[in-house]
Amino acid sequence: MTAPDPVALLDELVRGRRSVRRYLPRPIPRADLLAILDTARWAPSPHNTQPWRFALLTRPELKEHLGVAMARRWTADLTADGLPPEAVEAQVSRSRQRLRGAAAIVIVSLYLGDLDQYPDPTRQAAEQTMATQSLGALVQTLLLAAHARGIGACWMCAPLFCPDVVVEALHLPRDLIPQALVTLGYAAAEPPARERLPLAALLALDD
């Protein structure tokens, strides 16, 4: 029997992943949730500092509490932007429904405590930027780990706009900076593939 081609398997996994926003009312086994996070922690990071921490939410009341707190801040922001009340309500309600419908939510936070320290602000800012960038690798690994198990996911950046609200609502340690929210669940429908720019349009230099 021919062994599976790892390159083909990886390509299929990466190209087949979708951002899933509607889920079936079906719980995810805890063993699968922990396995997804366990795989995600192998993402690359600066100096192997692993500057991330997870918060795993599965209880409906906790997801609802977070949704209410974030919705309050977002409502205030959208209102200040001048959006009419009906448009604000529509956007906020749609976002809250995504949280309610997910079987689980993972909050990914930045942790700066183990980063290298420099005497000048330029290098220190670069160190923090490297740490922040590594969270993107972490989340992508998490998304692929979920997809490989038949579990849908969606990366939401809402915590970037209200990290203090997330910390307060979930009673997280004060040295964590929430950066991303990933919803997880079994897809209610397969989202269509979205077009990507051709490689030729992305190559700034090909020497």
pLDDT at 112: 96
Alpha helices in 102-162 (DSSP H): 121-148
| Helix, coil or strand: residue 54 | strand
Residue owning tokens 């997880």:
184
Closest CA to 127 of 112, 148, 147, 109: 112
Share of the chain above pLDDT 90, in %: 96
Q: Name the phi and psi angles at 67, rounded to 5.
A: -60, -40
pLDDT at 3: 82
Instruction: Please give the radius of gyration of the chain, using alpha carbons only, rounded to the nearest integer.
Output: 19
Q: What is the dihedral of CA 105, 106, 109, 114, to 10 degrees?
A: 160
Q: What is the mean pLDDT of residues 57-61?
A: 97
Encoded amino acid at 174, one letter: R
Q: What is the mean pLDDT of residues 175-195?
A: 95
| Helix, coil or strand: residue 86 | helix
Q: What is the mean pLDDT of residues 152-159?
A: 97
Size of the chain, expressed as the number of residues it contains: 207
Mean confidence (pLDDT) of the chain: 95
Report the C-alpha gap between 69 and 166 in whole angstroms. Answer: 8
pLDDT at 92: 93
pLDDT at 147: 98
pLDDT at 167: 98
* Statement: residue 49 has pLDDT above 90: yes
Cα distance from N-terminal residue to C-terminal residue, the chain: 41
Strands 152-156 vs 104-111: parallel, antiparallel or unpaired: unpaired
* Statement: residue 12 has pLDDT above 90: yes
Closest CA to 90 of 99, 78, 80: 78
Q: Please give the structure tokens belonging to residue 49.
A: 């500092």
Which pLDDT tens digit goes with each residue over 70-101? Answer: 999 999 999 999 999 999 999 999 999 999 99
Report the C-alpha gap between 3 and 98 in whole angstroms. Answer: 39
Closest CA to 46 of 130, 123, 122, 120: 130
**pTM (predicted TM-score):** 0.94
Cβ 92 vs Cβ 150: under 8 Å = no
Cα dist from 37 to 30, 42, 111, 174, 206, whole Å: 11, 9, 16, 22, 36
What b/e sequence results for 163-195 when a residue is b if at least 16 CB atoms lie within 10 Å of its CB, and e otherwise?
bebbbebbebeeebbbbbbbbbbebeeeeeeee
Which pLDDT tens digit goes with each residue over 106-144? Answer: 999 999 999 999 999 999 999 999 999 999 999 999 999
pLDDT at 1: 78
Share of the chain above pLDDT 70, in %: 100
Instruction: For the chain, list the domains and their CATH numbers.
Output: 24-60+103-189 (3.40.109.10)
pLDDT at 44: 97
